[in-house]
Amino acid sequence: MRFFPWGFWLLCVASAPARGDSGSKARSCAEVRQLYGAKGFSLNGVPQAEISGEHLRICPQGYTCCTSEMEENFANKSRSEFEAMMKEAGRSVQTILTAQYRSFDNYFQDLLNKSEKALYDTFPSLYGELYTQNTKVFKDLYSELRRYYRGSNINLEEALNEFWTRLLERLFKLMNAQYHITDEYLDCMVKHAEQHKPFGEVPRDLKVKATRAFIVARSYAQGFLVGSDVVKKVSQVSLSHECTRAVMKLMYCPHCRGMASVKPCSNYCLNVVKGCLANQADLNTEWKYLMDALVAVADRIDGPSNVDTVIGTIHMRISEAISNLQENKDSITAKVFQGCGNPKISTKGSSSEDKKRRGKVTLEAKSSAVALEMLVLDAKGNLTALKSYWVTLPGVLCSKKVMASAAADDKCWNGMTKGSYLPEVMGDGLANQINNPEVEVDITKPDMTIRQQIMQLKIMTNRLGNANMGNDVDFQDASDDMSGSGSGDSCPDDVCGKRLSKSPSTRQPETHAIPKQSGHGVIGASSRSLPSAFLLFLLGASIAVQHLWR
């Protein structure tokens, strides 16, 4: 019995509210008061020394320097600060992607501008009236090329075909100015002339190469914009109530407990941030696919679909085509007259300008291949570095923003006191947060804003995959792009090429109305007929059973 008082005393000591240190004297709250004032709050009612903390709802209820109002204010402040951290991190990624877009866009536009300027500067002296009387035809071509690159829903092949048709009509008329050629005769001329390739192989060759180059160029540029827009939207998602409490406990409760100099434990911080950014981490798979798709298209831009070679020489190919027509003028005219009849003689007479300016010419184009190579290398380096952005974000925030302690630190803030943090670090993504010890996460309710952005990543990746394979895109969402949810299971070879059965695309990263596509009606009809087939099966089975009972 003589040991009872000692045991009772030890029990009383153990059950007493814990302090930040071993001293029995109430500690000063000067540090918290300074911090609280620096955050813009009034110091009225802020304790001068520690008080009992039974009133606390987020921080541990030991001796504290925080009142209920201070705890609430710190919670609101932690939410706004954490959301600001997310936006700041997102802005750094947006800056990189936007810079890559602008670099390529400036390069591409400059390439197109130089080709157009070279045409305007050289064609008047080379072709005289053949050019000066048809200036609008050439201007319209470059205007259509720019519109296509900017995302206008036009058919590039049709635009190129229209250019060659209009050019042929105008040149045929000029080179046969001694005849009166009507619009009806021109229609007939075009039909007959196309069989004999008046411009040689240039129109077909340019259509194939230019179409591929423009497809990859505009999809590549759009990919950077969509990626940047996804980051912007996801970085603006508000913090939940549970996360607000968890972040407050992580960032400000040490101050309330008089441990301002104690850093949060690294793994503790990771669990808090991974729980709060669980939905964002689910972007990871589709985000990686987008980065890989952009890298693959970058290789094509500086490879098989080299935009420097194709876009920078458009004026040269047009010049080559006109020279071919001049050389073959007599035979083409004879075949047209044979098929369409001889037109009436005009009073204008022959064109001396045409006679004076016949013969093949060769133009030169200054290559910017080195600039393109450097641009692509820079883009690939940045894209590779950004691939794991969403899953490395918690670690970045903890180390650079929250200033968490080293992983091996056993004297850090663990959410309750200064010491070690024992729970394991959760995995990435929503599904892995079911047992998160720091944040209560409802894994059955994914954030719909983020799920929508996952869909936009899928759409853009599909678009890039199609462009990489040389397929044109119409910049409209397809219904297949909107089916399913989540981040997908795996990405097949050739930049998800086998997943890219359609060629959808959008100018904006928002979801648009979904147009019907050919073939979908058959599938839909088949699906709708299943209930009827099932009923017929039940009816047949019922009749068979009745027959057996008889």
Q: Report pLDDT digits (tens) over 507-519.
A: 333 333 323 333 3
pLDDT at 507: 35
pLDDT at 470: 83
Is residue 523 very low, low, confident or very high in pLDDT (cuts 50, 70, 90)?
Answer: very low
Q: Is the pLDDT of residue 17 over 60?
A: no
Among 43-57, 201-215, 536-550, the minimum mean pLDDT is found in: 536-550
Structure tokens, 379: 């883009």
Mean pLDDT value across residues 485-513:
36
pLDDT at 344: 86
Whether this prediction's pTM lies above 0.85 is answered by no
Each residue of 308-365: pLDDT tens digit?
Answer: 889 999 999 999 999 999 998 898 889 889 888 888 887 655 544 444 444 444 555 5
Angle at the Cα of 225 from the Cα atoms of 224 and 230, rounded to 5 degrees: 100
**Domain ranges (residues) in the chain:** 78-99+109-346+363-432
Q: Is the pLDDT of residue 426 over 80?
A: yes
**4 against 159, higher pLDDT:** 159
Q: Is the pLDDT of residue 539 over 50?
A: no
* Helix and strand counts by DSSP (H, E) for the chain: 22, 4
pLDDT at 164: 95
pLDDT at 472: 73
Among 7-11, 288-292, 442-446, 538-542, the minimum mean pLDDT is found in: 7-11
Q: Is the pLDDT of residue 461 over 90?
A: yes
pLDDT at 105: 96
Q: Are the beta carbons of 509 and 226 closer than 8 angstroms?
A: yes
Q: Percent of the chain scored above 70 by pLDDT?
A: 77
Structure tokens, 166: 């209009």
Is residue 35 very low, low, confident or very high in pLDDT (cuts 50, 70, 90)?
Answer: very high
- Neighbour count for residue 107 (Cβ, 10 Å): 21
Three-class SS state of 57: coil
pLDDT at 361: 46
Instruction: Give residue 528's identity as a one-letter amino acid code.
Output: R
Q: Is the pLDDT of residue 399 over 60?
A: yes
Measured over the CA atoms of residue 285, residue 287, residue 293 and residue 298, the dihedral's sign is: negative
pLDDT at 195: 80
CA distances from 492 to 104, 385, 488, 498, 499 (A): 28, 21, 11, 6, 7
pLDDT at 544: 45
Q: Which residue in this structure is represented by tokens 């184009």?
A: 365
Q: Percent of the chain scored above 90 by pLDDT?
A: 59
CA distances from 101 to 260, 291, 482 (A): 44, 13, 26
Mean pLDDT taken over the chain: 81
CA distance 230 to 250: 28
Mean pLDDT value across residues 256-262:
90
Residue 180 per-residue DSSP state:
E
CA distance 444 to 536: 38
What is the separation of C-alpha 546 from the centre of its chain, rounded to a whole number of angstroms?
A: 62
313 membership: H or E segment, kind and range: none
Among 122-131, 248-257, 394-403, 502-511, the minimum mean pLDDT is found in: 502-511
CA distances from 178 to 169, 181, 289, 348, 530 (A): 15, 9, 62, 6, 70
CA distance 250 to 438: 9
The alpha-carbon radius of gyration of the chain (Å, integer) is 36
Instruction: Give residue 530's identity as a one-letter amino acid code.
Output: L
Is residue 153 very low, low, confident or very high in pLDDT (cuts 50, 70, 90)?
Answer: confident
pLDDT at 19: 46
CA distance 77 to 65: 17
Mean pLDDT value across residues 51-65:
93
Q: Are the beta carbons of 108 and 214 closer than 8 angstroms?
A: no
Among 131-135, 461-465, 488-492, the minimum mean pLDDT is found in: 488-492
pLDDT at 444: 92
Q: Is the pLDDT of residue 467 over 50?
A: yes
In three state form, how does the secondary structure of 509-535 look? CCCCCCCCCCCHHHHHHHHHHHHHHHH
Instruction: Give residue 445's identity as a one-letter amino acid code.
Output: K
Maximum C-alpha span of the chain: 137
Beta strands per DSSP E along 231-352? 344-345
Angle at the Cα of 360 from the Cα atoms of 357 and 364, rounded to 5 degrees: 110
Each residue of 158-210: pLDDT tens digit?
Answer: 999 999 999 999 999 888 888 888 999 999 988 877 788 899 999 999 999 99
Each residue of 62-99: pLDDT tens digit?
Answer: 899 999 999 999 999 999 999 999 999 999 999 999 99
